[in-house]
Amino acid sequence: MAIPNVRIPSRQLYIDGEWREPVKKNRIPIISPATEEIIGEIPAATEEDVDIAVEAARRALARDDWGSTTGAQRAKYLRAIAAKILERKSELAKLESLDCGKTLFEAAWDMDDVAASFEYYADLAEALDSKRKTPVDLHLDSFKTYVLREPLGVVGLITPWNYPLLMATWKVAPALAAGCAAILKPSELASITCLELGEICREVGLPPGALNILTGLGHEAGSPLVSHPDVDKIAFTGIGPTGIKIMTAAAQLVKPVTLELGGKSPLVVFDDIPNIDIAVEWTLFGCFWTSGQICSATSRLIIQDTIASQFLDRLLEWTKNIKISDPLEEDCKLGPVISRGQYEKVLKLISTAKNEGATILYGGERPQHLKKGYYIQPTIITDVDTSMEIWKEEVFGPVLCVKTFKTEEEAIELANDTKYGLGAAILSKDLERCERFTKAFQSGIVWINCSQPCFWQPPWGGKKRSGFGRELGEWSLENYLNIKQVTQYVSDEPWAFYKSPSKL
């Protein structure tokens, strides 16, 4: 039985520590992925609102209550935010589930991670105080040099809809820990919990302008943020074409960017796996978790031919057992995809694969028991050729394509046969083989005997067309710091480069 819906809060833009109506007073409907009904609305920012938010952020950096804070002072705000997240965990999880179609269990899991991330970056903010001024040994008596770690400035954070509050936190928490003033632009397809973060910041007394939240369309709010001359950096997670536009616009101002642009990650399974069911479950989790809407999803199963038939039979049995339902229902393991546009895109890719000669082993359609909502059955596609679109392009839906291999060399070639390079996984009991594949995989993340576990301490990011830069861990904090060299001449002796004029 579905859990009763919670009320969708009606919010404005969060600018300078208060709720502010958009200059043009526009709003965007919130459409439930589970019912296709309008369940609320969000404010739609435009260029005028971006200007106001940037000015607020600049003022925050100039004020002592934010611009002159220590890491320890900022840590108190981050911990207060974490506590509020946990206090409102149940409500926020339901809002997240209603907004993006994520199962309630996963949404609650995400809220725990959100709180833990704020706590983690509170610790790093405190540690930053001892690293803020770092001496550099020059081996000279006449000079002293040190390096200052300072906030980079005003940063624009553009985040996706698959993990609305968690992906925002991956950027907001380190940006605030570093002492930057941030402007968050979440996806217009899922913004509810990001706006609630604004209310939490207001309640804990985060200084005005330290975090501003602008919801709205990408071309109306995101583009002006990227090209604004007073925004010092852009961090973006999303699709490749948008990342290219952001990089191009930022280049006009020589503005630094970090980009995480998705992937088409491989999962290589060898015939020495000790337990086929454990391997099957990691295969399912690696591709169907969050309805397959994961940038790092291991959506290309590359399996050794000697166990392919047995493995696929068991995979099919497990897949048929996945509960697809309203994401608020107990034990739901697969909810809808985010929107009608995404629903149609995924079904078109499946249809194209079939037309190109692939076999739809299972799924590929709307579940018969769900007449409304953007639901797609978990889909397994075999007889895939490497020239097919389904092999090459990111689907961002519950679709797994399968190929077999005979040798390690063939498996590595298939694994790296992609323009992306975010994640890669190997399942094998041979740890020396796992080490060989770890080195051979052209990716930023490698999983051994698992797929998709993500923690806030290690770095996250890719290579090739999956983007560049790293989030999470200490690496993310570095994204928001400026490194300044300070050198002082301490000798009483003249420099004596030029000849001194004769004394009169």
Known catalytic residues are 260
Q: Tokens for 80, please give them.
A: 């207060």
SS (H, E, C) 252-304: CCCCCEEEECCCCCEEEECCCCCCHHHHHHHHHHHHHHHHHCCCCCCCEEEEE
SS (H, E, C) 13-46: EEECCEEECCCCCCEEEEECCCCCCEEEEEECCC
CA distance 172 to 472: 11
CA distance 180 to 177: 8
Q: Report H helices in 360-472.
A: 389-392, 408-415, 431-440
179: closest CA among 56, 75, 55? 75
CA distance 365 to 297: 20
R_g over Cα of the chain: 25
Q: Which residue in this structure is represented by tokens 């040994």?
A: 137
AA letter at 281:
E
Residue 247 has φ and ψ, to the nearest 5°, of -60, -40
221 near 187, Cβ under 8 Å?
A: no
477: closest CA among 259, 171, 201, 231? 171
Q: Tokens for 187, please give them.
A: 């996806």
CA distance 62 to 153: 10
CA separation (Å) from 448 to 13, 273, 435, 438? Answer: 43, 12, 9, 8
CA separation (Å) from 327 to 323, 346, 374, 454? Answer: 10, 19, 12, 22
